[in-house]
Amino acid sequence: MIAFIGRRLGLAVLLIFGAITIVFLALRVIPGDPASLILGSQASEAELAALRTELGLNEPLFLQYLHHLADLLRLDFGESWRLGADALSSTLERVPATFTLAGTALLITIGLGFPLGLYAARNAGGWGDRLVSYSSLVGQALPSFWVGIMLVLVFASALNLLPSTADGTIWGLLLPAVTLSLPFLGWLARLVRNGALEELGKEYVRTARSKGMSERVVFYVHVLRNTLTPAVTVLGLILGNFIADAVIIEVVFAWPGIGSLLIDSITNRDYAVAEAAIVLIAACYILLNLLVDVLCSYLDPRISLEAV
């Protein structure tokens, strides 16, 4: 177990290193000159050149990369010229907001997706099952930014029930969290339904019935336990996707999380902050996957972590 986690953490460092490299290259390939953005259009050529030198933009790309890596080893992502503060700490400040949003969306996804999937499996072929299946398909097909805008139009503008942007209350959290969870809620419901139906056809179910177990016990003890493992695997992926999707949703709802910070810093060529945000999101994704693997081995005793 310890060895497994150690090995996976080593792998995680490699992955994060890869992410850093890609981000570094991508940010320097996109058009636009940070120096002219910082100083504005009135700046003289001399001023621009001086700033480029100060920022190290005149060095060969490879040297820039090495210097950059050395800085990152000291957890120094550089300074945000826009916010005038340390890039990493300005990004970390936004973490709680994004986690609150993703966590709420996860609660909604589990709280609705699981019961709906189980209900559909127990009533397989019935109209309730079909309703769940079709609506989950629709939920998956609609783009989040559009759903977000529609929800704002209906619940904030027309009905005036909920705030359209973050206002620090639970109500302000509701619309973005629902928007974020909607496609994954349907995905989870279908996954739970199909998983439970597949398990219901297995031989151990017949054994449980031959032991005189009621259908409730067969379903909610024997089948459910075996449906949990694949569902938890997917929940890890979903949570990772929440953090990634939050980038768009946070902009739509003006949510003060990493996502909106990332978009702002990319449009303003604030490399340091953009990079800190991307690396942080990647790290979250990687650590979540590790967490899921550990949780799965606990739920399904056949999965041996040593063999992974």
Partner 1 sequence: MTATEEAPLLTVSGLNVAIEGAAGTVQPVRDVSFTLAQGDSLAIVGESGSGKSMTSLAVLGLLPEQATVRAEDLRFDGAELTGLADPDWQQLRGEQLAMIFQDPLSALNPALTVGYQIAEMFRRHRGWGRSRARQAAVELMAQVGIPDPAARLRDYPHQFSGGMRQRVMIAMALALEPRLLIADEPTTALDVTVQAQILRLLRQRQRDGLALVVISHDLGVVARSARRVVVMYAGTLVESGLVAEVYPAPAHPYTAGLLAASPRARGTAGSVRPIDGQPPDISALPAGCAFHPRCPIARERCTVERPKLRVVAPGRESACHFAEEVLTGEPTKRGTGAAHG
| Residues contributing to the site for partner 1 (CB under 8 A) | 202-204, 206-215, 217, 221-222, 225-226, 228-229, 299-302
CB 250 within 8 A of CB 145: no
Q: Which is nearer to partner 1, 149 or 217 (CB)?
A: 217
Q: What is the rounded distance in angstroms from the CA atom of residue 220 to the CA atom of residue 209?
A: 13
State whether residue 108 is helix, strand or coil.
helix
Task: Please calculate the CA angle 183-107-299 and round it to the nearest 5 degrees.
Answer: 100
Q: Which is nearer to partner 1, 89 or 214 (CB)?
A: 214
**Shortest distance, position 254 Cβ to partner 1, whole Å:** 44
**Shortest distance, position 221 Cβ to partner 1, whole Å:** 8
State residue 86 phi and psi, 5-degree precision: -60, 130
Q: Which is nearer to partner 1, 26 or 221 (CB)?
A: 221
**Shortest distance, position 189 Cβ to partner 1, whole Å:** 21
* DSSP bridge pairs for 85: 80
**Shortest distance, position 22 Cβ to partner 1, whole Å:** 39
Q: Which of 299, 283, 293, 281 minimizes the C-alpha distance to 98?
A: 281
Q: How far is CA 77 from CA 86, 103, 287, in A?
A: 8, 27, 20
Q: Which of 88, 45, 37, 54 minimizes the C-alpha distance to 274?
A: 88
Q: Which is nearer to partner 1, 171 or 204 (CB)?
A: 204
Number of H helices, E strands in the chain: 13, 2
**Shortest distance, position 199 Cβ to partner 1, whole Å:** 10
Q: Which is nearer to partner 1, 144 or 226 (CB)?
A: 226
